[in-house]
Structure 1
Amino acid sequence: MSTKPAETEITRIAVGTGDEARSIAMRIFHAGKRPDVHLEHGQASELPALVWLGGYRSDMTGTKAVEVERHAREAGTDCIRFDYSGHGSSDGDYRSGTISRWVEESLAVIDHAATMRMILIGSSMGAWVALRLIEELRGRGQADRLCGLVLIAPAPDFTAELIEPNLTDAERTSLAERGYFEEPSEYSPEPNVFTRALIEDGRNNLVMRGPIETGCPVHILQGMRDPDVPYTHALKLMEHMPADDVVMTLIRDGDHRLSREEDIVKLRQAIDAMLTKA
């Protein structure tokens, strides 16, 4: 398995206006423009597009994101990867980000890409963004655009469920006095910064307040040795989906990233199951 990013051109769209304007970087692969995929030139694939939604402080060149596009190429369907503002190649500072802001950007990207049918693949915080996108699409009467949902180490409502209950006195003081607190990151030499704005906005975007109805098949991949999002959180999420066709794969020795070769195999299998049902 190669981790070299697929050679897909970066394009950009502007989201927001005035002081809220930001440039969002995307890599959109169109199967109809690939010579060895047997579609007429410019024709869209009949299969749903794969839409990658990354996690907090991750970007579209990560192992899983790249493998999702590689799998789309092999399957002969489209793939959309992008960076939230403050992440990767997009403009801004991630410390200015909120769930509302990143959902707005995600919706703008899928609308720009004219993706009529899609499978959302959300990793960690990206699972929260995916579930909020579903709410937005249902509100528009566009729930039929969604053909499947693959969630990797899902962290919906993480600000309220995983951060706020575990804040130390020092972190609460920092939030009150500085508007943010820091904690060491296992994935970067720079600490993670969680802002008061992110936490307060998170309360307005909670999805596990009652039953969640996606109206599509759902597959959850969760490591049981995840130090960031305990597998009990994924089980709780599953309990909020009583009406959906939900499959959960618990990986006994899996961590939060789930980026090992054997983890990628499971991810590809989950995507294939969604494509088969579409």
Structure 2
Amino acid sequence: MPADTTTTDGASGEIAGRLTVDTGTSAREIACRRITGKAPTIVWLGGYRSDMRGTKAEHLLGFAKSHGLGYCRFDYSGHGESSGRFEDGTIGGWTEESAAVLNSLGKAPLVLAGSSMGAWIALNLVRRAKEFGLEGRIKGLLLLAPAPDFTERLLLPKLSAEQRAAIETDGRLEIPSDYSDEPDLYTRALFEDGRKNLVLDGLIDTGCPVTIIQGMADADVPYEHALTLVEHLPHHAVILSLVRDGDHRLSRPQDLDLIGRSLADLVETAGEMA
């Protein structure tokens, strides 16, 4: 992993580094952690305002170690340990950072595990694989409570006329969060850039198997959104698992067990495709 600084975490055994993306005033330092192992390498793509130290990201680290697989997790700019202001982030920018991290891993085949917004970024990476130099490398997608196009399809319809006006006039909107004492922040740039990165505007030819896990008690991403996503996936190997009492976090022991079993199947299939 090319990085400005690299150290080894004795507790986790991960190589920790910082990867510089872009130049000049647009440069961002992305904090990354990885372990080496056999292919495919699993890459964790977190959700909006989450970081790489979360329960599911840690669980995938344990999964990778137990199976001798490579694993990489990182924070988008404005998240966790990476540099930058959160309010400056956009889907397009975070996708570019993700592509830079993937390219830093060499040429190994990849299985992307994307949670919520991370699933949108994973689908964006697949659609733009040739542009990012990733063509043929992404061998599987694990999408957890996927929220592709969430700004346009999930958030915007819920906003009042006053809230929409605030975005236009103030350039930002703060909404109380169910997961943090700090409010969720949505900027005009996030919405405008989101429209340039929509993936549910046509078929998404992933070229690889896709497994979706969606909670039916998810208050943030209704399970119908996962059904809509499936309609846009023409690949024959698409599996949708609905967890009747699962919420948006999907972090209970039984959820993590399902994630592990689903990932094991994807890894096996990816090995056959390599």
Q: State the TM-score, normalized to the length of structure 1.
A: 0.91
Q: What are the Cα deviations for residues 66-91 of structure 1, in whole angstroms up to 9, with x where unaligned? A: 11111011111100100000000000
In the TM superposition, residue 242 of structure 1 has moved relative to its aligned partner by: 2.5
Candidates 235, 243, 248, aligned match of 2:235: 243
Paired with 2:114 and 2:156, the residues of 1 have a C-alpha distance of 22
Does 1:206 pair with 2:206? no
Q: Say if 1:53 and 1:126, in contact at 8 Å, map to a contact too.
A: yes
Number of residue-to-residue matches in the alignment: 260
Q: Amino acid of the residue matched to residue 131 of structure 1? A: L
* Cα distance between partner residues in 2 of 1:18 and 1:131: 28
- 1:209-228 alignment to 2 at 5 Å? 209-228=201-220
- Secondary structure in 2 matching 1:137: coil
Confirm or deny that 1:11 pairs with 2:17: yes
Q: Answer whether contact 2:32 2:73 (CA < 8 A) is retained.
A: yes
Per the TM alignment, residue 243 of structure 1 is displaced from its structure 2 partner at its CA by 2.9
Cα distance in 2, alignment partners of residues 140 and 202 from structure 1: 18
Q: Please list the CA deviations of residues 240-259 of structure 1 after superposition, one character each: whole Å capped at 9, or x if unmatched.
A: 11234100000000000000
Q: Distance in 2 between matches of 1:140 and 1:17?
A: 17
Q: How much has 1:140 moved relative to structure 2?
A: 5.6
| Secondary structure in 2 matching 1:48 | strand
Give the deviation of 1:6 after TM superposition. Answer: 3.4
Q: Residues 11 and 142 (structure 1 numbering): CA distance in 2 closer, same or farther, change over 3 Å? A: closer
Equivalent-residue separation in structure 2 for 1:140 and 1:233 (angstroms): 27
Taking the aligned partners of 2:18 and 2:132, their CA distance within structure 1 comes to 25
Q: Which amino acid aligns with 1:201?
A: D
After superposition, give the CA deviation of every residue in 1:23-44 in whole Å (9 maximum; x if it has no partner): 000001112xxxxxxxxxxxxx
Q: Which runs of 5+ in 2 are unaligned?
A: 1-10
TM-score when scaled to structure 2? 0.92
Q: Structure 2 CA distance, aligned partners of 1:119 and 1:60?
A: 17
Q: Deviations over 1:122-171 (max 9, x none)?
A: 00000000011112214467432111100000000001101122211221
| 1:263 partnered with 2:255 | yes
Superposition CA RMSD, Å: 1.3
Amino acid at match of 2:79: H
| Large movers: runs of 4+ above 6 Å | none
* Aligned-pair identity (%): 49
CA contact 1:213–1:244 (8 Å) conserved in 2: no
1:24–1:90: 8 Å Cα contact kept in structure 2?
A: yes
Query: How many angstroms apart in 1 are the aligned matches of 2:222 and 2:12?
Result: 32
For the residues of structure 2 that align with 1:86 and 1:196, how far apart are their CA atoms? Answer: 16
Partner of 2:74: 82
The yes-or-no answer on 1:22 pairing with 2:28 is yes
User: What residue is the counterpart of 1:161 in the other structure?
Assistant: 153
- Summarize the alignment of residues 119-130 of structure 1 with structure 2, pairs less than 5 Å apart: 119-130=111-122
The equivalent of 2:7 in structure 1 is none
* Aligned pairs for 1:119-158 within 5 A: 119-139=111-131, 142-158=134-150
5+ residue gaps in structure 1? 32-44
8 Å CA contact 1:218–1:244 kept in 2: the answer is no
> Partners of 2:12 and 2:227 in 1: how far apart?
34
Contact 2:21 2:97 in 1 (8 A): yes
Deviates more, 1:63-72 or 1:139-148: 139-148
